[in-house]
Amino acid sequence: MMSRRVVVTGVGWITPLGHEIEPVWKRLLAGDSGIARTTVFDAGTFPSTFSAEVRDFDLARFLGDDAAEHADASRNAGFALAAARIAWDDSGLSSDGELDRTRVGVYLGGGEGPMDFDNFVAAAVKGMHAGDGRDLNAVKWAEVAYERLTSVKELEQDPNMGAAHIAKLFQVEGPNFNTLTACAASTQAIGEATSIIRRGDADAMISGGTHSMIHPFGVTGFNRLTALSTRNDTPESSSRPFDRTRDGFVLGEGAGMVILEDLERAKARGAKIYGEIAGYGSTADAFRITDIHEDGRGGIAAMSRALKDAGVTTTDIDYISAHGTGTQENDKIETLAIRTLFGDLARKIPISSIKSMMGHLIAAAGAVELITCLLAIRDDVVPPTMNYSTPDPNCDLDYVPNKARKVEVNTALSNSFGFGGQNDTLIVRRM
C-alpha cells in the first residue's frame, strides 16, 4: 500500500484571542485571556455568565467578493470559511497553477451550528398558548414554525455545512467528510485526512474544526452536566487546568484549519513547511458517555498508537499540548495517562493547556492546539498554562505555569479527548 509523508503547509484560526496567526500566537505566549462576560445572548440568569467568544468577526473581511455566495452560512460555518481562507492563502496554493482540484479534499471536525433560537422559542410559546398553558400543541407549533423557521437557516445548522461551504469556496472536488466526535473532532479529522493523503486518495486536504455552542441550549446542557466553571466574578481567570481549585471548563468558540499536502508535492512547489504529521492514534473508552475511564486507558492507547505510527518513542517527545479542560476528572486522568505511559520522563516534559486562555473550542479545540504545536516547533517556545497557583497532588507534572518557556521542540504530541469516550492524538515533528 502507498504510504506518503504528509506535511502542513498552511495554518489559519479564528479564536477568542483574535483571527490572525501571529498576533494570536503572541497573545498566547503573553498569557492573555479571551474570556469575558457573554454577549451573544443574555446569560445573566445562567450559572455561568461568561464564555470565550469570537469578537469583531466579519466574514466579508476574509472572503471579499466571495462573501455573497456564503451569506447564509451559520456562525460556525463562517468561522470555518475564514480560517480555511487564511490557511489556503498561507499555503501558497492560491497561486499554484498546477493544482488539480479533483485531488484536493476537505475533512472537517464540525459541530452543529447555533439554531435560530429566537424564532424557535417564539414558535414554542405560540404552541403553548394554543393549549392550556402547560402542554405544547404540536400542530400549532408546526404551523408557526413553518412560518418563522426558514429552510435555509435550519439546513445551515447541519454539521456538514462547513465542509460543503469550504469545498464550494475553493472549488475542490476531492473527498469531503465531516466528523462530529465532540471535543476530539478536529484532531480526528486531521488524522483521518492525513490517512487519505498517505494512501494516495488525495494530494492535499483542507482539514480542521469549527464550533459555536455559546447559545442557551449549549450553555444549559453543559451547566446541567456541571462541566462549566461558575467563577462569574473573575471570568478572565476562571479556566484553571490542572490547578487544585479548578471548577470546570469555559465554553469557547472558533475554528482552526490546516492545509495538508503530500511532502514530495509540497517540496516540488517550494512550499513553506510548518512540520510533518508524523503520527495519529484514535481509540474509544467504551465506558460512560460523559466520563473518561478512571485508569486513562483510552488516552494511553491513543498516545501509544500515535507514537507507534510516528516511529518514535516517549524519549522523542519534547512538548505535550494537553487536552487540559479544567474539569476535576479530565485533568486528573489525563495526568495519570501521561504518567503511566511516559514513566519517569513524564515530569521532564513541558505540558500546557491553552484552554486556560481561550476556553474550550469543543470541535475546533484540537486543530487550534495542533497549530500551537507547529508554532512551538517553529519558534522553540511553548505557551503557558495560565491561572495555575495551587498545586494538586493528583496533577504533579510540569504544566509550564503562567509564563511561556523557551524549549527546543522538535517533536510535539497533541491530545484531544471527547465526550462519549473518543480519544485522539497527533504527533507533529520538525522537517
| 8 Å CB contact between 353 and 252 | no
Say which of 19, 211, 293, 360 is annotated catalytic: 360
**Catalytic (active site) residue 215:** no
- Angstrom distance (rounded) from CA 260 to CA 206: 6
| 8 Å CB contact between 171 and 88 | no
Query: Diameter of the chain by CA atoms?
Result: 71
**Catalytic (active site) residue 129:** no
For 245, the grid coordinates are 481549585
Distances (CA, A) of 35 to 79, 127, 254, 357, 416: 18, 37, 13, 7, 21
As beta bridge partners, residue 318 has none
- Angstrom distance (rounded) from CA 358 to CA 365: 10
- Angstrom distance (rounded) from CA 193 to CA 410: 22
Say which of 215, 323, 373, 395 is annotated catalytic: 323
Eight-state DSSP code of residue 362: G
- Cα dihedral 323, 326, 328, 331, rounded to 10, equals 30
- Angstrom distance (rounded) from CA 426 to CA 310: 9
Say which of 19, 165, 183, 215 is annotated catalytic: 183
- Angstrom distance (rounded) from CA 189 to CA 193: 6
| 8 Å CB contact between 211 and 364 | yes
What is residue 226's three-state secondary structure? coil
Q: Give residue 10's Cα distance to chain centre.
A: 16
For 319, the grid coordinates are 512538548
**Catalytic (active site) residue 183:** yes
- Angstrom distance (rounded) from CA 50 to CA 247: 14
Strand runs (DSSP E) across 275-393, as ranges? 275-284, 319-321, 351-352, 381-382
The CB density around residue 3, as the number of other CB atoms within 10 Å, is: 10
Strands 351-352 and 319-321: parallel
Residues marked active site are found at 183, 323, 360
